[in-house]
Amino acid sequence: MATLILVRHGRSTANTAAVLAGRTPGVHLDERGGAQAAGLPGRLAGVPLALAVSSPLERCRETLQPLLDSRPGLDLRVDERIGECDYGDWSGRKLAELAGEPLMEVVQHHPSAAAFPGGESLRGMQQRAVEAVRDWNDRVDAEHGEDARYLMCSHGDVIKSVVADALGLHLDLFQRIHVEPCSVTVVRYTRTRPFLARLGDTGDLGPLVPNPAGEAPAGAGAEGDAVVGGGAGAP
């Protein structure tokens, strides 16, 4: 099946201000986030992309814009299912202020039971995001072949929840996962199971470039078997 390249949006003005932005409109990349986005085309140079899918929020669209400018033929789709968690009444509030809320302890230690006042539950967020990934995997496989790579630009909690699903982790463990702004996380889906090939990578993505010898993608052996003994590193 397809290889999913998950990109968290670059650093935003809300990140800098330590505010829980949620779905608040008008949150843009800050200066550093813009520089991170500008570096994305170079990091992905040589990696073929069947298409790109974005959260509808501005900070994700801005993160992808340099990549789209560098690849005029790259098809961009927008999917609300990979949009930020709806934090409801918590949206726009300072994280330091929210730290004193009783619900924050649940969010941190028992997230599968957490539902935000006036918003959605973390379970609901994970369900819609994973459904989106599975749908896009099927579409990309059908239209571009099972060796295709495609990109999704989304948000920290959404990406963490997708990674937890890929690893077979209960949602209550997803807070142990961390992804930096503009980091790249790669999940290779196979018929029998997914493989996590990158997590929160902010450096060189050269190993994602297809090998002309036709070797299996990172992390997966023939027919989706794990590579025994760790496998060889990239040359």
pLDDT at residue 204, rounded to an integer: 72
Cα–Cα dist 12/15, whole Å: 5
pLDDT, residue 209, reads 77
- Hey, how many other C-beta atoms are within 10 angstroms of the C-beta on 126? 22
Number of residues assigned to the chain: 235
Return the pLDDT at 229: 53
Indicate the pTM of the whole model. 0.89
Query: Alpha-carbon distance 34 to 54, whole Å?
Result: 17
Report d(CA 146, CA 181) in Å as an integer: 28
**Which residue positions in the chain have pLDDT lower than 70?**
206-207, 211-235
Say what the pLDDT of residue 184 is: 97
Q: In the prediction, which pLDDT does 211 show?
A: 67
Distance, in Å, from the CA atom of 200 to the CA atom of 160, rounded to the nearest integer, reads 10
How far does CA 65 lie from the centroid of its chain? 16
Report in angstroms the alpha-carbon separations of 231 from 43, 146, 149, 210, 228. 24, 22, 21, 17, 6
pLDDT digits (tens, 9 = 90+) for 122-140: 999 999 999 999 999 999 9
